[in-house]
A and B are shown apart, each in its own frame.
Chain A
């Protein structure tokens, strides 16, 4: 298609780019600061680019060691949350969509009601419960409450409801059990939506602040967001180091996002969020 450069078209591109630059400036400023020697960070008037760029701040931050530990914790927690949420929710959604058992309607209604319970109001009793179960400062303590996602069961059940039973019946004729049908028919057929909710579950788990903040007190068990907020690894003038740790803390998901942007964007549409 030929492009005619009308004023509105040019203006919209310029506007879009300006907006993009505004959105990128904070990130660039963090990067900029992290490359300055500490004394330069508190100069006034401020310097725009580092006069003597150095990676000193990064070296200090990495040497303190905690960040690497938190990165590992975040990875373990996010993978566990994503995998368990998907498995548990798929099974439940299948159960509610395709089987019947006594109390099914009541239970499903209960789960729908659970969507209304904001996790934020449960922090106090949930922490007490974790104390009782001995799960404070453990991976399971961080992970398990995040696995309960009634909204996910609801979305997947709705999706499964829309999948024709013919495929399932065909598989059954071949002798497949229900269990096998879930994994060999329902899951492959729901792949786009599972990828989408999986990505967002992962981002959500990686960035979750409040619950890991409540349930971890031991710095060696903290995730990246919690550790960065609670543990101080350097002293005195340390703006460059703080920005270096912010850059490192944000980088993993930025990379993941840059690589999977297509899936993320399409996923939002596929996940049935589209109106």
Chain B
């Protein structure tokens, strides 16, 4: 498959007081459509910052970031919001569900940005919950669910609008091993069966084994290791 993401000479720097902190400098990376990429590296290496740039919620100080030929670094904030809604599903370490909404309403949120009517939205929400094995928990609130179940709801929310890419920030960081393996298997399934391009930041080498490609980010440079499994 062709390149979905193309990062060219991207740099990210922060100014803190009088000091300029460089997170990475002139980074190049190509991720193909259908890849399952794990990004590893020590704390502070810039993994999450890179994920934020790929998701269009942060901007590079310089360089180019393209997604399917669209230059993200040239989009306005409003257009970036629209691009995210159409192309990106986010999965967070702490699930980031809305505690006051039930599972179905949480999953429905990305669909509120589409032109789908209420009936179509309900059907797609139910289908997404069925995919993650929670078809019977639609009316349950996050507080009534285990951590693993909440993360499944978050995955359902990430895929319900059928985005091309899933960005996962330590998706198993808050889960026990068994539950983490279930979640990772599910991500693998979404990658293999549904063709989702997945980019996952993780500290966990066990989690990285589920990826088809592992990148180590250290001191602003990538070291490619290939698949660990």
Same complex: no
Q: Which residues of B are at the interface with A, using a C-beta cutoff of 8 A?
A: none
